Structure 1
C-alpha cells in the first residue's frame, strides 16, 4: 500500500479536510444519479417529503416498472450515508418496492428533486475538542399506516454506554 496524499474520495464519498474539520459529501454522486434518472431538468423541491405525505400501500393505483423504482431506491439508500436529511423519506419509500405504483414513484422523484435543490449538503465533523453531538428523535407510531409500528428512533447512545 502506498500513500498518495490526503484522501479526496472514499467509496464514492467526497472528503474535504481542513484545519477546522472534515466535511463528507456526495455532490458528484447526486449529480450522477440526477442524470441517470433524467431528473436534472425538472424543477427542484424544497423538502424531500410533504408533511401530509399519505404514502400507503395503495393497491389500486397504476403500477410502475419495479426495476426502475428499485434502482432509484437503491441509489438513494447509498446516498443517505452522508445525507441524514433524506433518510426517513427514503426508508418510507423503500417499503413499497414489491408493488410500487405511480404515487410512490412521484414521491421518490420528489426526493430526487430535493437533492437537486440541495446537492452540496453533507456531514461536518469539526476538529474542536469540545465537539458535542446533539440529536433529536421524532418517534411516530402512526407513521406506518398498515401496521402502526414505530417508524423512527434515535441513533445516539446514552452517556452510560459510551466508551
Structure 2
C-alpha cells in the first residue's frame, strides 16, 4: 500500500458494496484484520465510521470488491494523517454533555427538534441534531426528550 495513490474520501457515493455472491473470495483472516484495525481507528477518526461498518457487514464471506473498499479506506487515511480527534494527555477525561430542543419547531407536524453534543475533556467527540419522533405537549417534555436522546 506504500506506492498506492491517496483517496479523497473513504467511500464513493455510489459505492456498490453488496453481498456479491459470484465475486472472487479473498483471504478472510486478512480482511478481518483490516476491518478490526479500522474499527479501532473510528474512535479517533469518526469520518471513516460509516464506510468501515459497511465493510464490516461482509466479514463472514468477503469478496474482492469488499477488499477494494477496505483498501480505499486505508488510502484515504494515508492522505489525511492530520485529521481526526486528538486527546491530549494533560486534558481531563470528564464526559460532559449539552442538549437543547425547541418546542414545536416544525410548522407542518409540530414536532420538536433536539440537538446535543458530548465532550471528553475539552474535545468534542459526538454531536447530533434530530427531529423528535413524538409531538411534545410542553416545552418541559421537549427538553426531557432531547436530554434523554443526548445521554443515550
Give how far 1:136 is off.
5.2
Report the TM-score, using the length of structure 2 for normalisation. 0.60
CA RMSD after TM alignment: 2.6
Structure 2 segments unaligned to the other structure (5+ residues): 92-97, 99-115, 118-126, 131-143
- Which is richer in strand? 2
List gaps (5 residues or longer) in structure 1. Answer: 1-38, 138-156
For residue 101 of structure 1, the aligned residue among 49, 54, 63 is 63
**Counterparts in 2 of 1:19-98, with a 5 A limit?**
39-98=1-60
Deviation at 1:124, TM superposition (A): 5.9
| Alignment equivalent of 1:118, drawn from 65, 80, 89 | 80
Greater RCO structure (CA 8 Å; 6+ sep): 1
Runs of 4+ in 1 over 6 A off after TM superposition: none
Q: 2:44·2:86 contact (CA, 8 Å) conserved in 1? A: no
Question: Please, what TM-score do these two structures have when normalized by structure 1?
Answer: 0.56
Match of 2:128 among 132, 135, 141: 135
Question: Quick one: distance in 2 between partners of 1:94 and 1:88?
Answer: 10
**Max Rg structure:** 2
